[in-house]
Amino acid sequence: MSTSLMYHTQQIREFQHTSLKFKDNKVIQCIKRKNFNCDLCRSNKVRLEALRVRQIQALPYGLKKTYFEFTIHRIYCMKCKKRQIEKIPFLSHPKSRITKALERTIVELRSEMSISAIAKYFDLDWRTVKNVEKRYLKKKFKRIKLKNVRIIGIDEIFVSRKKENEKYKTVVRDLESGAVLHVGNGKGTEALKQFENRIRCVKRNFEAVAMDMSRAFIKWVSENLPKAEIVFDHFHVIKMMNDKVDKVRRRITAGLDDAHKKLLKNQRFLFLRSVEKLDPDAKLLLDNLRKTFRELGDASMLKEALRSIYRQAENDTQAEAALINWCAIARQTEVHELIQMANTIEKHMKGITAYWRTGGLSNASMEGFNNKIRWLMRQAYGYRDDEYFKWKIYDLPNLKTKKQL
């Protein structure tokens, strides 16, 4: 077998073919290095000491598993007087058991095949396949450019019940391109420390940050991106309002007798669902329950009134006036949960009305991305390697979620 075939099929240079062996249904190709040089000074005046023989798995020739067999040497340079172990150019690292060509093939197949399928096809340990992809992703996302990023979204997601700082992941994304900019362990300002160091030179480029009403996020943005507009999008505002409606429902249900409890049994989503999505019978039932339970009816009506502000207000001035009026009505109901919501809206009025000033900037894509992260965890039945999981999140915008991981 010629050396050129080895070069063109396996991308192996600086070695030449010496012989072939066939053993246990596999091909063992023996090769040797053509020339030896010092890695430090490139001198060819070296002395060699054979250490051991290695077999490295390569891309298969047809249906046969293929291995390259060669001798590893210790090199002593006569010029710079240094000793070193011979470096093998077709290995990604000294302890690798497969060639770079096989690693590239594994990476290419990962978008179409699961780790277990690739491991079975090449007869490899699944951890070997995982580590190949992990090194590739780490190199790919080691440096992420932030120069042209203008609008970002920040959100946190619960991922496991492991260590305290691994229960949550805080994700920062470019809302224009969809790229993941940062994945931090935990939640709050500590999870954003590394991102804080990276944005020091480009923080003036950030124009807006979409997020929920987390005090930690608000504090972090105020301190590190003082010129960026904080936007609390309608998704989080309505979600918070739905939580208040549900609290009212639970509180009222807890104080009812068994006969009246039956009226509210299994009706949770009737109050949370948008009115326009209800069928006529559901709307009639909702109207009757609103009349029967006054506090719950007030909460439900004000939830729809809050939603209508987002549909009808044309600018931030109209929105602010409508929200102030909404808060006044909420206080008149004397419902504790609605008064709490009114206080929250007034406290965060600037960030809420920023939704209109930024042309309807929404963090909904971040919530959708959280669903993709959950899908990622389900496909792998969880991740024991937290670092690998982090790099997979970085690569998630490039994955086709209908495919098996």
The answer to whether 175 and 154 are in contact (CB under 8 A) is no
Beta bridge pairs of residue 156: 170
Is residue 22 helix, strand or coil? strand
Catalogue the E-assigned strands of 198-344.
208-210, 229-231
What's residue 8's pLDDT? 81
CA–CA distance, 316 with 318 (Å, rounded to integer)? 6
Q: For residues 186 and 159, is the Cβ–Cβ distance under 8 A?
A: no
What is residue 1's predicted lDDT score, i.e. its pLDDT? Answer: 55
State residue 400's pLDDT score.
66
Q: Please tell me the total number of residues recorded for the chain in this structure.
A: 405
What's the confidence (pLDDT) of residue 404? 44
Over the chain (405 residues), the average pLDDT of each successive run of 10 is 78 88 88 88 89 93 88 92 90 92 94 91 93 94 89 89 74 92 89 88 86 90 91 89 92 85 84 88 88 90 93 93 96 94 95 92 84 85 83 86 48
As given in the structure block, the two tokens for residue 94 are: 């000294």
Q: What is the pTM of this model?
A: 0.83
pLDDT of residue 367: 81
pLDDT at 341: 95
Domains of the chain: 3-90 (no CATH), 151-232+363-396 (3.30.420.10), 236-357 (no CATH)
What ranges in 57-125 are assigned the alpha helix state H?
Answer: 100-109, 115-122
The pLDDT score that the predictor gives to residue 357 is: 92
Return the closest-CA partner of residue 301 out of 267, 335, 347, 340.
Answer: 335
> What's the pLDDT score for residue 31?
92
Residue 403: its pLDDT value, please?
Answer: 46
Task: Give the per-residue pLDDT at 124.
Answer: 93
For residue 63 the two structure tokens come to 């249906």
Measured CA to CA, the distance from residue 268 to residue 248 in angstroms comes to: 11
Strand 83-85 to strand 64-77: parallel, antiparallel, or no bridges (unpaired)? antiparallel
